[in-house]
A and B are shown apart, each in its own frame.
Chain A
Amino acid sequence: MLTPHPGLPEFDYIKPATLAEASQFLAQHAGEARAFVGGTDTFVRMRDGFWKDKYLVDVKHLDGMNTIAFDPLGGLTIGAAVNLNRVIVSPDVQNRYPVLAEACHTVASYPLRTRATIVGNICNASPAGDTIGACLVLKGSLRVHGVNGLRVEPLSTFFLGPGKTKLQRGDVVTAVHFPIPPKGYTARYLKLGRNTIGDLAIVGVTALGYRDDDTPSGYRFRLALASVAPIPLAPTRAEMILSDKPITEGTIAEAAEAAMEACTPIDDVRGSARYRKLMVRNLMRKVVTEVWKVISRQS
């Protein structure tokens, strides 16, 4: 095969001065204009001929896009243009939300992470998005600027299908926000790729757990699965099993089985549906066990 031509199809680059201007332009040119940040998905889609937008609207420089801010009462806000390498080295992320750094680190390579962003990963709405599971278990929400002003979109209801989200014409996501996580929590992201590092996920499992005196088991877990359904999936029955029954190896295995049953993967070049289901069960057992070992040691 010939080396791919490095060029993108023709478009006009637009750099609006304000969020209002950005939303207005995107709304006026719905269907032919697209907001972009790092471009790591956008450029590939355009180069491959899937997206044919006449305008690319750069929103990186707009208000609040470039900051990571932690507020001890409100939580963590990561601007839409903050790249993954910055998230990984942020002391606030490392100290209080380390699973975000862990998930970001599994994305592609350092040079690509110089461009890639969490908000871009979310808005691309790929079921394989590596950072989305961590954002879901941390109860993330998006700050969205639209033609009618600012609003909040919780991630739990944001995804509608592969590449489909609740974003409407004129919307620009300015940041992703995370509340203060539960006291004493632990969270992990386990990713299965064809290589140890750098590949897309065949399966990704995220688990967050903490002590909770209000549940029969004394614990509560939040779980998320990547690459095994049309949208990033929260296996709620598995979560319920872990809060309802005393946590033993058997309970964890039962929850892992429930997670496997919740997913509806496809066969593709990275793995078969059957393989993915079995890996969900095995990785879920592993990740919940790891998290439980840490939180059960705390008194």
Chain B
Amino acid sequence: MSYHKITITINGVTDRVDVPSHMTLLQMLREKLALTGTKNGCAAGECGACTVLWNGEPVNSCMVLAVECDGAQIITVEGLAHDHQLDPIQEAIIAAGGVQCGFCIPGMLISARALLDRNPDPSDYEIRDALVGNLCRCTGYLRLIEAVKEAARRGEAEAAPA
């Protein structure tokens, strides 16, 4: 079994990490770097609980090898808040009462953030389409969809000139 030394920037912090060939990005985050906000659900790219931003794009971290992340920029749920200020999508989900058991929320937040980054004013269909890979087994989808709309409205209000 071979090991590889990679340089990776996670939530703005650059690190050198030794990883075995078969370690996934998900395992590296949780088991090596103790970033346990990212969840392991299905380990097969279906549930979305492990979604992180990989060079700005959402990806199932169980479907990426750690060694493939040499030079990559990763944002996990731990990296969404800045300066003790939650991301608007985090605030909107709390306000909407969108969290039940909470297991899907880290992945849901990342997918929603990525959607708003590429499309600040998504339609209902576009929100559902963007979140289709994030399963919530409490089935609390409606409040989550409402929260994404609310976060989009807040984003627009902030972007509008005073």
Residues of A within 8 A of B (CB): 3-13, 38-40, 43-44, 47, 56, 58, 60, 85, 108-112, 114-115, 195, 197-198
- Provided the pairs A43-B63, A44-B44 are in contact, do residues A10 and B22 lie with their beta carbons within 8 angstroms? yes
Q: Does B41 contact A (CB under 8 A)?
A: yes
Main secondary structure on chain B at its contact with chain A?
mixed
Contact of A114 among B21, B27, B59 (CB under 8 A): B59
- Provided the pairs A6-B62, A85-B57, A114-B59 are in contact, do residues A108 and B133 lie with their beta carbons within 8 angstroms? yes
A-B contact pairs, 17 of them (CB 8 A): A3-B41, A4-B42, A4-B43, A4-B44, A6-B24, A6-B40, A7-B23, A11-B21, A13-B65, A13-B67, A44-B44, A110-B58, A111-B58, A115-B59, A115-B63, A195-B132, A197-B128
Mark interface residues in B28-41 (1 if CB within 8 Å of A CB, else 0). Answer: 00100000000011
| Chain A residues with CB under 8 A of B67 | 13
- Provided the pairs A10-B20, A10-B21 are in contact, do residues A111 and B41 lie with their beta carbons within 8 angstroms? no
Contact yes or no, B44 A47, CB < 8 A = yes
For A10, A44, A60, A114, the residue with the greatest tally of chain B CB atoms inside 10 Å of its CB is: A114
| Chain A residues with CB under 8 A of B30 | 6
Contact of A6 among B21, B43, B134 (CB under 8 A): B43
Contact yes or no, B40 A44, CB < 8 A = no
| Chain B residues with CB under 8 A of A110 | 58, 111, 114-115, 129-130, 132-133
Cβ of A111 to closest chain B Cβ, rounded Å:
4
For A6, A11, A112, A114, the residue with the greatest tally of chain B CB atoms inside 10 Å of its CB is: A6
Contact yes or no, A197 B129, CB < 8 A = yes
Contact yes or no, B4 A13, CB < 8 A = yes
Cβ of B31 to closest chain A Cβ, rounded Å:
8
Cβ of B117 to closest chain A Cβ, rounded Å:
12
Cβ of B51 to closest chain A Cβ, rounded Å:
5
Q: Which of B65-98 contact A (CB under 8 A)?
A: 65, 67-68
Q: Does B1 contact A (CB under 8 A)?
A: yes
Q: Which residue of B lies closest to A86 (CB)?
A: B57
Contact yes or no, B21 A109, CB < 8 A = no
A12 to B27, CA, bound (A): 17
Contact of A39 among B48, B65, B130 (CB under 8 A): B65
Cβ of A149 to closest chain B Cβ, rounded Å:
28
A108 to B131, CA, bound (A): 11
| Chain B residues with CB under 8 A of A47 | 43-44
A85 to B134, CA, bound (A): 17
A9 to B9, CA, bound (A): 26
A119 to B46, CA, bound (A): 20
Contact yes or no, B60 A56, CB < 8 A = no
Cβ of A15 to closest chain B Cβ, rounded Å:
8
Contact yes or no, B48 A5, CB < 8 A = no
| Chain B residues with CB under 8 A of A111 | 45, 48, 51, 58-60, 111, 133
Cβ of A7 to closest chain B Cβ, rounded Å:
6
Cβ of B144 to closest chain A Cβ, rounded Å:
15
| Chain B residues with CB under 8 A of A12 | 1-2, 21
Mark interface residues in B136-151 (1 if CB within 8 Å of A CB, else 0). Answer: 0000000000000000
Contact yes or no, A7 B57, CB < 8 A = no
Contact of B45 among A8, A9, A108 (CB under 8 A): A108
| Chain A residues with CB under 8 A of B132 | 109-110, 195, 197-198
| Chain B residues with CB under 8 A of A44 | 44-45
Contact yes or no, B133 A115, CB < 8 A = no
- Provided the pairs A4-B42, A109-B48 are in contact, do residues A115 and B60 lie with their beta carbons within 8 angstroms? yes
Q: Which residue of A lies closest to B65 (CB)?
A: A13
Contact yes or no, A39 B22, CB < 8 A = no
| Chain A residues with CB under 8 A of B128 | 197
